[in-house]
Structure 1
Amino acid sequence: MSGGPETHVLLGKSDSIHQQVLASFPLCDLTEGDLTQNPQFCKLLVSLTQHVDKTGLSVQLKTELDKAEQKLQSQRRQWLRCESLSRGLQEMIQDHCVRKHHGTVPPDQNMFYETMEKCLLVAQCVRQLDPSNTTNQDQPSVLGLTPQHVMELMPSEKNVQRMKQGVPRQLETHLREKCLSLLSYYQPEWENESEGLKTIKFSHLSALLGEEKKKAESLKEICRENAVLLQRQTQLYLLELIKCIQLLQTFILDHRLKIQTDLEGKKLDYFEGKCELVLQKIKTEMVEVQLDTYTSDAIRVHRKIRDTLEAELKASKEEKQAVELKLSSFELLGKEFEALADMYCRLRQEIETKNWALKELTQYNEK
């Protein structure tokens, strides 16, 4: 599929388009080579950048998500405001208990904190018994109790009003001390400065923390980008490493074949030399056995006997060959000559018999 003119114009802007696409979709495992080999896919990604963000959300969904996030942040701030106020009052009560444990406390101050603690406990119980304000649903009562039963445990109206009048001042003092301790924790070198200077510096603490938060988020983004870059470089490194390993295996195989041939030749020479050595050793052992078994005179006699026997054997073989040659010539004459040969043999036997008988007779007559 060929790309249109718009694609060629788009892709003719060097590698900046590729860099923009990779920056727009950091979660995709893409490289510039992928975009170069697939221009239509690159064009599709460029068009998608107008409709989605870096996380892959559409513009409409991103808008709705931002609205929901703002609403959530508003409710979260409201909850944090109430929660911080409640925890601040609880901390004030705890501090009062610690001071009362370590020393004497004025009666009016003791009454103030006892009234505050009772009011907080009653409010907490009422909230547990009547969750309709937060869950929009009715819930069975606990042990048959109702919020009205718990409200009867409230302190007297006089003490409650006196407590309400003193809460803002006490809470402000407690929060100021807590802020100053937070400032001392953030910058310990500011601890020995005056309270007024600490208050001025604390007013700028939120801005300092905001800047540090932005720096931290920026560092997180840089770390995320570095992680993506490291992942890509790791993949490229592994690909190159696999190629090097394959090339090294090829070199090793070729070198091993050459070495194997040389090694086999050397082994063959070694075994030939070893066999020759064994044969020479066997001959040497045979000579030693002969020398240990026979004397020199016996060996000379045995050699003469052997020479004589070998000469007789040679003569016998020659005679055998001559007889076999004559026999083969006789066989060529056919069956008639065989009958004549049998008659000749019979006549020779009769002649030898008569000669023997004549010889015996002659010897008898001489006696």
Structure 2
Amino acid sequence: MSSSAEATNVLLGKSDSLHQEVLSSFPLCDLTEEDLIENPQFCKLLAILAQHVDQSGLTVPLKTELDKAEQKLQSQRRQWLRFESLYRSLQEMVQDQRVRKHHATVPPDQTMFCETMERCLLVAQCVRQLDPSSTTNPDQPSVLGLSPEHVMELMPSEKNVQRMKQSVPQQLEKHLKDKSLSLLSYYQPDWESESEGLKVMKLSHLSAQLDKDKKRAASLQEHNKENTVLLQRQSQLYLTELTKCIQLLQTLILHHRLTVQTDLDKKKLEYFEGKCELVLQKIKTEMLEIQLETYTPDTIAAHKKMREKLECEQKACKAEKQSVELKLASFEILGKEFQALAEEYCRLRQEMEVKSWAVKEFTHYNK
């Protein structure tokens, strides 16, 4: 590790596990230990920053305020869910009553109970829609000129409302019980054939079982995320190593190809040399066969002697030619003046030959 990285460890009072602590403090950042080693100052900054922020990147005061706001929101949400679930359960009871009326005879008191409750729910919904909130303009005209007092006049009689309120807990408990048993049957279809008492006993443990399954699913999901991150890192390492292996394989292939090509060229050269030698020997053999078929042995021997004599004469002529060419070259070095003298010498030589021939002829004629 570099000197700056060592200074960082001494300054922060950290050990060699500083990089791992930084990585665990910022799990959402796509960083590796190699990145922190190559950038020690950035590692130092992250280590100092980890003392002031959490893993999500929020500061400690902001995290505290966020937790308080989250708790308040959860409390209001639970309260809203409590009233919403009660309201929807009452609506479901009304709908179930409507369905039963088409399939069987319903007692009059049950019919009166459901009609009273349905009317109360409808009036309550209208009142809530007409009641202005704290953010609306109080001078804004209401819907159709109605007010909550006008809608409250449509409520059933007080007697029916009191009777309905007395029956609501019992009817709601029965409805929720039937719905819970249906949920239990859906969660575990094998328990549908069991007795109602056993179902009720198992229903008391359903919430704990659902929480357990929910935690198990969350744990599996978190484990799946960790495996995904690990798989991505392993895939990157695998691709890096695979690239190195491919480069090494290319180098080996190129070296092996060059070595094999050299050996192959050498073998081909030896093959062609042998083949040429074989062809030459075959040509000589054919020439000898043609000579034997054309001439007798004595004629061949005479031809050899004649060939040797001609070759000797050819060598002598070539030697004489080279000697004359050397003399001629030495004469050419003397220049144009010597050429004029040489021409004059040739002319006089020719005249001397002519006169010598004339003297010989005259002498021969006088005899």
TM-score where L is the length of structure 1: 0.70
Alignment counterpart, residue 344 of structure 1, candidates 333, 336, 352 = 352
1:7 alignment partner in structure 2: 10
Looking at structure 1, the residues matched to 49 and 215 of structure 2 have their Cα atoms a distance apart, in angstroms, of: 29
Question: What SS is found at the alignment partner of 1:56?
Answer: coil
Q: Which amino acid aligns with 2:92?
A: E
2:183 alignment partner in structure 1: 182
Q: 1:261 to 1:155 in 2, by over 3 A?
A: same
Q: Which amino acid aligns with 1:242?
A: T
1:210 alignment partner in structure 2: 211
Query: Deviation per CA, 1:228-264, whole angstroms, max 9, x where unpaired?
Result: 3443344334333333333333333332332222122
Give how far 1:310 is off.
Answer: 8.5
Looking at structure 1, the residues matched to 93 and 72 of structure 2 have their Cα atoms a distance apart, in angstroms, of: 32
Is the 1:24–1:54 Cα contact (8 Å) retained in structure 2? yes
Give how far 1:175 is off.
Answer: 0.7
Looking at structure 1, the residues matched to 324 and 36 of structure 2 have their Cα atoms a distance apart, in angstroms, of: 103
Question: What SS is found at the alignment partner of 1:104?
Answer: coil
Q: Which amino acid aligns with 1:11?
A: K
Q: 1:140 to 1:250 in 2, by over 3 A?
A: farther
Is the 1:22–1:30 Cα contact (8 Å) retained in structure 2? yes
1:265 alignment partner in structure 2: 266
Question: Runs of 5+ in structure 1 lacking a partner?
Answer: 360-367
Q: Which amino acid aligns with 1:85?
A: L
1:254 aligns with 2:255: yes
Give how far 1:174 is off.
Answer: 0.4
Q: 1:96 to 1:139 in 2, by over 3 A?
A: farther
Alignment of 1:70-219 (within 5 A): 70-121=71-122, 123-124=124-125, 130=130, 132-133=132-133, 136=136, 145=144, 147-148=146-147, 151=151, 154=154, 156-157=156-157, 161=161, 162-188=163-189, 190-191=191-192, 195-196=196-197, 198-219=199-220
1:296 aligns with 2:294: yes
Q: 1:298 to 1:49 in 2, by over 3 A?
A: same
Looking at structure 2, the residues matched to 159 and 283 of structure 1 have their Cα atoms a distance apart, in angstroms, of: 140
Looking at structure 1, the residues matched to 321 and 186 of structure 2 have their Cα atoms a distance apart, in angstroms, of: 134
Looking at structure 2, the residues matched to 326 and 31 of structure 1 have their Cα atoms a distance apart, in angstroms, of: 92
Alignment of 1:232-247 (within 5 A): 232-247=233-248
The alignment's C-alpha RMSD in Å is 4.9
Looking at structure 2, the residues matched to 286 and 42 of structure 1 have their Cα atoms a distance apart, in angstroms, of: 91
Looking at structure 2, the residues matched to 258 and 316 of structure 1 have their Cα atoms a distance apart, in angstroms, of: 51
Give how far 1:334 is off.
Answer: 4.7
Is the 1:115–1:159 Cα contact (8 Å) retained in structure 2? no
2:229 alignment partner in structure 1: 228
How many residue pairs were aligned? 351
Question: What SS is found at the alignment partner of 2:52?
Answer: coil
Looking at structure 2, the residues matched to 324 and 35 of structure 1 have their Cα atoms a distance apart, in angstroms, of: 87
Give how far 1:177 is off.
Answer: 1.1
Is the 1:130–1:139 Cα contact (8 Å) retained in structure 2? no
Is the 1:51–1:59 Cα contact (8 Å) retained in structure 2? yes
Looking at structure 2, the residues matched to 145 and 286 of structure 1 have their Cα atoms a distance apart, in angstroms, of: 131
Q: Which amino acid aligns with 2:241?
A: E
Give how far 1:103 is off.
Answer: 2.2
- Larger mean CA deviation between 200-209 and 250-259 belongs to 200-209
Question: Runs of 5+ in structure 2 lacking a partner?
Answer: 332-337
Looking at structure 2, the residues matched to 168 and 195 of structure 1 have their Cα atoms a distance apart, in angstroms, of: 21
Give how far 1:61 is off.
Answer: 1.7
Is the 2:180–2:203 Cα contact (8 Å) retained in structure 1? yes
Alignment of 1:30-45 (within 5 A): 30-32=31-33, 41-45=42-46
